[in-house]
Amino acid sequence: MSAWPQLRGSRTVRPGTATAGVVRCGLMDTMLADLAVSVVYFFAETLDEERLAAGLALALERLPVFGGRLRTVDGVLEIVCDGAGVPMDSYDVDETLAEAMGRVTLPRAELVDHVAAAQARTGGHPLLTVRISRLADGGTALGISWHHAVGDMQSFVQLLRAWSAAVEGGRLPEVEIVQDHDAYLDRVLPAEDCGRPGFRLPDPEEVAFLGREVALAARANRSVQVYFGEAETDRMKQAFITAAGRKLSASDVICAHAISAIRELDEDKEARELTVPVNVRRPLDLPATVIGNLLSEIHLSCPGQGAPELLAAGLREAIEDFTGAHLNLRANLRFLEAIGRDRLGDCVPLGFDPAQRRFTFSNWSRFGAYEVSFGGVRPVFFSPAANLQLPWVSWLVEGFENTGSLFTAVLPARLAGRLRSPEGYAALHRFREPGDVLPASAEAVRKLA
């Protein structure tokens, strides 16, 4: 058995001053409280770990929820901002930067210490972990995992911005810690929404099926990453705009193209559903600095076959009419009132429906994932990391060296293999041309579809 990775040191990073405040989690926070989100940043240089630790301590003063602990009081989940801190472990890894980047989605990649989300609900477990891997060629992998009950991707990026500013000696960004999430939303939400809740009560047969899916996830599914270069994306976007006859974004067309190509490779001609989580700060004109899970979702029907430009157009129309046709946060609360809060744990999100091959597409682009610097060193790659390998889940974020786009999807193992085959390459990259120049770091990663 290999002796790598080798642990060099462990510490707990705590804020210099603890607020001792308590944050009352909302319904969406609680619905996500069995999940952790894990990501890895890759740097071509060695990072100063003492500066990283000192900077994180300052960032935790600004965002104490990430350094606190969970508890449940009278059936309500709360975050106690007690300064319990964040574990930060340092390792030596006998891999080059390219090798580590190529393994980031493997369940046994050992680049992240995944937060124990379910156990953390009862207290005593961290809500954020940091793992620093010093690579054989001088590069660094910075693995970070956070408890989803604390916040969404927007919240995490606020932490990263504060951390980066602290390391660089700059001014930390302002953030807004809301003490009662549901009460906050009650003040800012429109009186009526679409009326359709975003979760459901499955029957006993489906409960058993979903339990098996979760139990077998790591063995049955694989993560596949697809890099779409900037020139490739521009061609795709122009072709879709021409076919759809309307304005579309790069994320609209990549989502529609990637999912349609995957379904083509899966020989799936049935009509399916697509769920797209939406950060409600922008459509509700809320500050980007509010910490928490300010999320709703779009639910769309996917055509049985072909016509990816119609899916892209449908997604763009849904985004433009989001508050009128899809916002459902009040509907969620009313559904919970109808069934009783004690049954919340029996509910599942509409987006988790593997029997129907229902895709979930999370757009992490334009959050500023690459807008961080530690000691003047900027990341060359940012990626989701394997945590719970549930099928038909996908993400989009800026690609290598902050160019192009990286699409990551968790799929049944056989289908994942087809994506990596010549047939899969041809379907996914039908808009790529031989003269397209890819970033050097993308060229170095093996098994990139």
Chain segment 346-373, per-residue pLDDT in tens? 999 999 999 999 999 999 999 999 999 9
Name every residue whose Cβ is closer than 8 Å to that of residue 293 and which is 6 or more positions away in sequence: 26, 28, 29, 32, 148, 149, 151, 152, 155, 181
The Cα-based distances of 261 to 255, 264, 267, 294 in angstroms read: 10, 5, 10, 31
**Equal CATH topology for 6-186 and 192-367+388-444:** yes
Cα(251)–Cα(262) distance, integer angstroms: 16
Tokens of 387: 């945590």
Tokens of 239: 């072709």
Provide the β-strand partners of residue 62: none
Cα(331)–Cα(195) distance, integer angstroms: 5
Cα(411)–Cα(333) distance, integer angstroms: 32
The Cα-based distances of 306 to 266, 327, 406, 438 in angstroms read: 13, 28, 23, 28
**More confidently predicted of 1 and 322:** 322
What is the predicted pLDDT for the residue at 2? 53
- 3-class SS at 412? strand
Question: Using CA atoms in the order 311, 313, 315, 316, what is the torsion angle rounded to 10 degrees?
Answer: 170
What is the spatial order of strands in the sheet that 76-81 belongs to? 21-24, 76-81, 69-73
What is the predicted pLDDT for the residue at 127? 98
Does residue 253 have a pLDDT over 90? yes
Q: In 222-257, which positions are buried (b, 16+ CB within 10 angstroms) versus exposed (e)?
A: bbbbbbbbbbbbebbbebbbeebeeebbbbbbbbbb
Can you state the angle between helices 308-320 and 250-265, rounded to 10 degrees? 140
Is the C-alpha dihedral spanning 280, 283, 285, 287 positive or negative? positive
Name every residue whose Cβ is closer than 8 Å to that of residue 348 and which is 6 or more positions away in sequence: 199, 200, 202, 210
Question: Using CA atoms in the order 159, 175, 296, 233, what is the torsion angle rounded to 10 degrees?
Answer: -60
Q: For the chain, what are the domain ranges?
A: 6-186, 192-367+388-444
Residue at 71: amino acid letter: R
Alpha-helix runs per DSSP H in 129-203: 153-168, 181-188
Render pLDDT for 143-163 as a digit per residue (tens, 0 to 9): 999 999 999 999 999 999 999
| Average pLDDT over the chain, rounded to an integer | 95
Provide the β-strand partners of residue 70: 79
Q: Which of 294-298, 339-343, 378-382 has the lowest mean pLDDT?
A: 339-343
**More confidently predicted of 37 and 306:** 37
Confidence band, pLDDT 50/70/90 cuts, at residue 3? low
Cα(43)–Cα(378) distance, integer angstroms: 7
Are β-strands 128-134 and 140-147 bridged in parallel, bridged antiparallel, or unpaired? antiparallel
Task: Fold for 6-186, please state it.
Answer: Chloramphenicol Acetyltransferase (3.30.559)
Residue 171 near residue 165, CB atoms below 8 Å = yes
Residue-level length of the chain:
449
Name every residue whose Cβ is closer than 8 Å to that of residue 339 and which is 6 or more positions away in sequence: 201, 347
Name every residue whose Cβ is closer than 8 Å to that of residue 19 and which is 6 or more positions away in sequence: 64, 81, 83
Does residue 255 have a pLDDT over 80? yes
Does residue 388 have a pLDDT over 90? no
Render pLDDT for 94-149 as a digit per residue (tens, 0 to 9): 999 999 999 999 988 999 999 999 999 989 999 999 999 999 999 999 999 999 99
What is the predicted pLDDT for the residue at 191? 94
Cα(310)–Cα(273) distance, integer angstroms: 14
**What percent of the chain is predicted at pLDDT more than 90?**
92
Render pLDDT for 438-448 as a digit per residue (tens, 0 to 9): 999 998 887 78
Cα(54)–Cα(285) distance, integer angstroms: 34
Average pLDDT over residues 71-78: 93
The structure tokens 């394997």 sit at 386
| Cβ neighbours, 10 Å, residue 56 | 24
Render pLDDT for 23-69 as a digit per residue (tens, 0 to 9): 999 999 999 999 999 999 999 999 999 999 999 999 999 999 999 99
Confidence band, pLDDT 50/70/90 cuts, at residue 1? very low
- First-to-last CA distance in the chain? 30
The structure tokens 């001609």 sit at 269
CATH number of 192-367+388-444: 3.30.559.10
